[in-house]
Every structure is written in structure tokens, then in C-alpha cells.
């Protein structure tokens, strides 16, 4: 008998593309908040919430959400520098890199919350 493997099967990670777009959108939105409000603590809170949401939605490899969300904050700062007449300060640019650090806690915390919810649903 000849056995054929199905080439139409999808990997379990093929559905992550919309979540990457969501992460990019949240990163750009966080960068806009950072440019407009210019408050590093509020920006860190927004990063924490964005990464926590993504960690709950897709708990596998939560570090990827920190990377994607955190990468768009300095890129938004750069776009604001090139477009706006009011230029961000050097401290604001450095702070945009540091704002992604709370995202680590948010992403991994969201993944833990998702695991707890899954265990509660299964009755473990």
C-alpha cells in the first residue's frame, strides 16, 4: 500500500499571525501614548497591560510579545522625531527602550494566568 502524507495540515502556530498584528498595533499605540503623554510610568503600565493581554491570548513563548510590542515603541519615537516639530528628548528616547521591561512581567504573568484558567476548567 502506498501511504501519502497530507500536505494540507496546518501547524499549531499558523494561527498566530493575527496576534502578531495585534501586538504590532498595541506597540504602535503604546508608542503614540508615550509621545503624546510623555510619562514613562504610564507608558510602562500600558506595555504591561498589552503584554499581559497577549500572554493570556497566546501563552506559548510569551517573550515574543515583549519583543514585538517593545520594538514598536522606539520606532514610533523615531517616526515622531521625523514628523513632529517638537522633538523628543534624549531621555525620552532611552526611556522608550526601558518601557518594554515591565512587559516581561506582563507577558509571563498572562501566560501563568492562562495556565491557571486552563487547569481550573479541567478540574485539576
* Neighbour tally for 117: CB within 10 Å: 12
Q: How long is the chain?
A: 124
Q: Averaged over 15-43, what is the pLDDT?
A: 92
Q: Residues 66, 48: contact at Cβ < 8 Å?
A: no
Q: What pTM did the predictor assign?
A: 0.83
For Cα atoms 29, 34, 28, give the angle at the middle one, nearest 5 degrees. Answer: 25
8 vs 115 pLDDT, higher one: 115
Give the model confidence (pLDDT) of 50-60 as tens digits: 999 999 999 99
Among 25, 30, 23, residue whose Cα is nearest residue 73: 30
Q: What is the pLDDT of residue 29?
A: 96
In this predicted structure, the answer to whether residue 85 has a pLDDT above a threshold of 60 is yes
The structural domains of the chain, with segments of one domain joined by +, span 17-122
Amino acid at each position: 500500500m502506498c501511504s501519502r502524507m497530507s500536505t494540507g495540515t496546518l501547524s499549531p502556530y499558523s494561527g498566530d499571525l493575527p496576534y502578531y498584528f495585534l501586538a504590532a498595533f498595541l506597540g504602535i499605540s503604546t508608542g503614540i501614548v508615550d509621545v503624546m503623554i510623555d510619562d514613562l510610568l504610564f507608558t510602562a503600565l500600558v506595555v504591561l497591560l498589552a503584554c499581559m493581554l497577549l500572554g493570556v491570548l497566546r501563552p506559548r513563548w510569551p517573550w515574543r510579545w515583549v519583543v514585538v510590542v517593545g520594538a514598536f515603541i522606539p520606532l514610533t519615537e523615531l517616526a515622531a522625531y521625523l514628523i513632529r516639530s517638537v522633538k523628543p528628548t534624549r531621555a525620552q528616547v532611552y526611556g522608550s527602550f526601558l518601557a518594554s521591561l515591565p512587559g516581561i512581567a506582563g507577558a509571563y504573568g498572562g501566560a501563568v494566568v492562562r495556565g491557571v484558567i486552563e487547569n481550573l476548567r479541567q478540574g485539576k
